Each structure stands twice: as structure tokens, then as C-alpha cells.
Structure 1
Amino acid sequence: MLRVHFGREDLARTRVMDTWGPLGETFLSLTTLQQPAGPAVFDGWRQRVRQMHRTVAHPAAALFQGGFVDLFTVTGPAASWEEGLEALRAAGSDLMAQEFAGARELREHYTGRSDRWAGLAWGDPAHDRADRRALVDFLGGYYRVAVAPYWSGIRTRLQQEQAGRARVYAEQGVEAVLAGLPPGFRWRSPILEIGRGRRADDLHLGGRGLVLVPSVFYQSRPTVFFSPDGQEPAVLFVPVLRTAGEVAGVLTTTQEGSLKALEGLLGRTRARALDAIGQVPCTSSRLAERLDVSLASASEHATVLRRAGLITTIRHGSAVHHSLTPLGAGLLNGTSLAP
């Protein structure tokens, strides 16, 4: 059990975010994917991911086993996938090395194991640029299969959660928000108890406050995360999916069936292009990477989709950025646009 102690300043600095962003949820999903006895409600999603994405066998995946590494505090929150990856690429070597060292200590604390950690046996992404690129490439491929197809539903669910807690905050105050957290959290002012067990670890926020972050994929042991410099408010992820029905409502998508139908209408590559742009608006070069085609081919597919009114294209300098139109979104999601 974890006992989080609040002072007056901590309560004043406590707030609720909507999401840490797609990269943060991707980090957390890798832990949930690899939990040997993880929540059964995620089994359908796990099976789909393992069937569709061979790179979950990449050795870098072991970095996220157990949830000891919190790279999300290294990158910070990021609204878009590209923004998150850029923060990961730019993270300082010393900062990442400090996080990995702390993760080793945390792993030993919870497991009693001091053996070599498989998560870092494959390389050194803190100091080696090639290993950093390998980590980024692995995350990109994994995200496209495990998180991106569901991101619209994930983001909507997390925004709903944040909005609900924000209303409670405005009407009743921060202690009502803490008292209204889901099962497993118990507010006994001025202490928030998380989890159960005879052993209790006491954590004093020390005036830093707490950021509550709803999460679809966070299912690990109760943990409060601190920024590497220790100055920012602590971070506590709050799981929002607890039943098979809730998981199915967020981690399934009509796009899976709609995409198959679209392949017959548009052709496989063009349907995949529309799907890729729908997941995350992108440039032609990034679209080419996602489709594994040449830049000329990606540009040609984008031109056809634009002429059909399914995407819109805006030029920024030498690059063009593609995003879905309402017609494209409706076609991709299998929804009717009729009034």
C-alpha cells in the first residue's frame, strides 16, 4: 500500500489533466501488454496486438516490463505523437541515464532482484544515438498498431473523465476529487491511500502538489512518479477502464471493419493512406514512412484522396500537411454524414 501525504500547499497545487498524450499512453500500454497475469479485460486487445505487430518481440519492449521505467516524466506531456517523439529524441543523456538508474533501484525494491535487467541488455538509449533511434523506431511501429487505431476513442474517454473531475473540483473542491477516485484509492484527509497490503510506503509530497492523469492503459502497482529534477508536481495515473465492456467500448473500433470495406473501394494502399492520415495528420514524407512506399507514391495517393474531398492539404514552407475532412472521417469511421 502507498500512503501519499498532502500538506496545505499540496492540495492547492493538485490538478487534473485530461491525458499525458499518445506517447505516454503508448509507454503504459507496453507495460500492460507484457503483464504475465495482467487484467483479463485487456486480453482481446493483447491478442490483436500480438497477432498484428511482430516488433513487440523487439528487445526494447522489455524496457517497459514491470512499469519501472517512467519515460513519460522524461518527455513530459505531449498533445501529439510527433511532439512526444521529438521530446524523446531530444531528452538529455544524463536525464535518461538518471531515470534508468532509478528504475533499476525501483525494480530491486519491489522484486528483490539485482540481476542484469533484460530491458537494457539490448543497448544504451541514454548515451548511444543509434540505440535511441532504434527505440524511437520501435515505438513508432508499435504505436501504429497498438494505440493509434484506438486513439480517437481513448482521447474522448480521457477527456470525459477529466471534465467530470473538473466539475467536481469547481463545485466541491479538491478533496472531493480525491474522495471520488475509483476503487483502490481511499482519501482519508490528509492522506491518500492507494492499493492494499500490510506493508505501507509513506510518501510526502513536500509542497509539490499532485497531477491526476486519467489513463486507459495504466494497470501497474500503485506508484507516484516524480520529475527528474524533483521540482514539478508529482504524477499519479488513475485507471479509467475496469470492466470488459468499458475496454471493448474504447479498444475496439469500427475502423477495423470499415478499413476492409474501404480497401475494396479505394484499393489497399489508398485505404491505408486514408487510415494513416486519420490516425495522426502528417506530411507526405511521414505518410510514405507509414505506408512503406516512396515519397512520389505517397504524394500521388494523397492527391487522389484530396481530389475526392477526403483529405485537406495545407503547405507549410517546403512541406505539406494532410488531415481528414469531415467526409473522410465519416467514410473511415463508417458513420453517416446525413443530417
Structure 2
Amino acid sequence: MLKIHFTPEDLARTRISAAPQPMWEVLLSVYRLRGREGGAIFEEWRRSVAQAAHVTTRLLADLAPQSGYAVDFITPTLRNLSLSDGLEALRRTPKQRLKADLTVLAGHRRLPAWTSGLAEGRPETLTRLADSVERYFAACLAPYWVRICGRVEQERARQVKMMTEEGCEHLLARVHPTARWNYPVLELDYPVDQELRLNGRGLCLAPSFFCWGLPTTFLDGELEPTLVYPIEHKVGWSVGGGTGRPLTSLLGRTRARVLEVIGERPGTTTEVASRTETSLPTASQQAATLREAGLITSCQNGQSVLHSITPLGLALLAEG
């Protein structure tokens, strides 16, 4: 059982993560690759990334055995939720944190030889690990990242509405099917007995695409308190690529494609035109329509206009 102890200050400071956390999704997706949990939900994705995963997950698997403890430092806590910032934080993990986490891991299993360089904080070993994570993300998660973000955003929007209309305690009582809220303690089913005292720091609620079954958190209670928990899924989320027919029918082929490429990553009008193989005036016109519909935002970026997708746009893409 996991027991999380709140104070009034903690309730006021509890928040919902603004977006999926890439490093957590990396870690939890590795578990989904090696296990059979989730059945039909993840099976097509497993098959589609199997070959790439085979050559990119070895270092990650060494630090996150299929059962039991996974090192805390693989999922650094950040307010800026980008993969690049997560990788940079991983490269700069303090030696004390590396040694402490690996000592805990060594109590559960025999560590491979390469982790000795990690325990010593060698920059080249940390870089090797970060590069491995980056290759894994590019091969196994990046092709689906828009859909992953969209589904998480749908759940996040639902929970933000619940918190706004009914309060934080109402949300905590429903954050997971096993949640039991009795102020000042939130209890959840958990693989081991663990207690987390927030002590005024608040709690970051992080809905996760690849979390399955029970929620998870850091072992070290001194790290920023974070509760990662699963969202609901739909079978077939990973099948096919590109924009689905319903979205194309709603927006039109060109406009749907413009929304998709902006969802993949923000871009200037020129970049959007290039990536969608349309003219600059067409890209500008389609972006303006999407902006008026609240699906993207646009802001001046030097001499260019930078377009970014909104949560509503992500949620629409997730439905395809």
C-alpha cells in the first residue's frame, strides 16, 4: 500500500502535470515492451517497434528490471517537460544520486559491469546512457508521440475540470480505482508498503500513457513528490500512421495535414509549408483557420510566425 500524507498547504499546491513526461513514458513503455500487461492495447505497438526496441533498450533494461525497483534518476523531475531537457538532466545527474540509486538496485539484482562507470559519475557513461534513451525514444515513441500527447491531454482536461468544479479532494478520491481518500491521507494499492510525506511541497499528479495497473512514484521521498498513474486507452491507437479519415473529413486533407505537422513539433509558416509540401500562402491560410478554431496558437518569432498546437488540437489529433 502507498500512503501519501497531506497538509492543507499540500492540497493547495497539488497540481496536474501540464503534459506527458517523456522520461517517465520512456521508462514505463520499456515495461510494456517486456511484459504482456495491457493485452490488445499495446500488442500492435509492441510488434511495430520490436526490432528497434531490441537494439535500444539494453541499458534501460539493466536499470529497470521487469519487477521491483527502477533507479529514480532515470526519470528526473522537471517543470519544462521536454525530452531534450530530460536528457540533459540525466547527463548532469549528481554522483551522489547515481551511487545511492545503484546501491539500492544492487540490493535486488547483480549489476552489469558498465554500471560501475555510472556509479562513479563518469561523463562518458552518462552520455552513453542518455544517447541510448534518445535512440529508444526516436525509434519507439516519437512516431506515436502526437497520439500519446493527445490521449493524455484528454484525461488531463477531464481532471482539471473535476478539480476546478469539485475541488482537489474530490479528484484525489478518484485519481485511481484503488484510491481511498480520508484526509489527510491518500491510500492506493501498491506493490510494496511505502509512505510519502509531502510536508508542504504539494503533489504533482502525472497521468501517463504507458503506466498500467497500479500507480508509481519515486522511492526517495526527498525528490519532488510525483504520482504517476494510468489513463484509459482505446484498442487500435497505434495502428496506421498520419491523419485518420474522420479528421480529414472534418478539416479537409490539407488542413488536417497542417494540424498534424504542427502537432509533431512547432514550426514557422515556412517550415509548415515545406513539411506539408504546400505553398507558403496555403500554409498561412490553413494555419489562420486552425488558429481561429482554437486548434493552434501563433506568435511572433523574430521575422517569422511560430505555430504551436493547443491542448484542444492535440485531443482532436488523438481521436484521428
Q: Taking structure 2 as the reference length, what is the TM-score of the superposition? A: 0.68
Corresponding position of 1:12? 12
CA apart distance, 1:73: 4.8
Secondary structure of residue in 2 paired with 1:68: coil
- Seen in structure 2, the aligned counterparts of structure 1 residues 323 and 70 have a Cα distance that, compared at 3 Å, is farther
Letter in 2 for 1:223: T
Letter in 2 for 1:18: A
Letter in 2 for 1:239: P
Aligned equivalents of 1:32 and 1:120: distance in 2? 24
Corresponding position of 1:294? none
CA apart distance, 1:126: 5.9
Q: Percent identity?
A: 30
- Seen in structure 2, the aligned counterparts of structure 1 residues 169 and 72 have a Cα distance that, compared at 3 Å, is farther
1:121-270 matches, cutoff 5 A = 121=115, 123-124=117-118, 127-195=121-189, 200-219=193-212, 221-225=214-218, 230=222, 232=224, 234-241=225-232, 243=233, 246-249=234-237, 251-255=238-242
Secondary structure of residue in 2 paired with 1:248: coil
- Seen in structure 2, the aligned counterparts of structure 1 residues 145 and 13 have a Cα distance that, compared at 3 Å, is same
CA apart distance, 1:169: 1.3
Corresponding position of 1:296? none
Q: Is the 8 A contact 1:63 1:119 kept in 2?
A: no
Structure 2 residues not aligned, in runs of 5+: 246-259, 285-300, 310-316
Secondary structure of residue in 2 paired with 1:193: strand
Aligned equivalents of 2:50 and 2:275: distance in 1? 31
Q: Is the 8 A contact 1:59 1:122 kept in 2?
A: no
Q: Is the 8 A contact 1:75 1:91 kept in 2?
A: no
CA apart distance, 1:177: 0.7
Corresponding position of 2:256? none
- Seen in structure 2, the aligned counterparts of structure 1 residues 278 and 17 have a Cα distance that, compared at 3 Å, is closer
The Cα offsets for residues 57-93 of structure 1, whole Å up to 9 and x where unpaired, read as: 5344321234522335535244332232222223333
Q: Is the 8 A contact 2:159 2:171 kept in 1?
A: yes
Corresponding position of 1:82? 84
CA apart distance, 1:183: 1.4
Count of residues paired in the alignment: 276
Q: Taking structure 1 as the reference length, what is the TM-score of the superposition? A: 0.65
Aligned equivalents of 2:113 and 2:168: distance in 1? 38
Aligned equivalents of 2:166 and 2:72: distance in 1? 32
Corresponding position of 2:99? 97
Structure 1 residues not aligned, in runs of 5+: 259-274, 283-301, 326-332
CA apart distance, 1:123: 4.7
- Seen in structure 2, the aligned counterparts of structure 1 residues 18 and 226 have a Cα distance that, compared at 3 Å, is farther
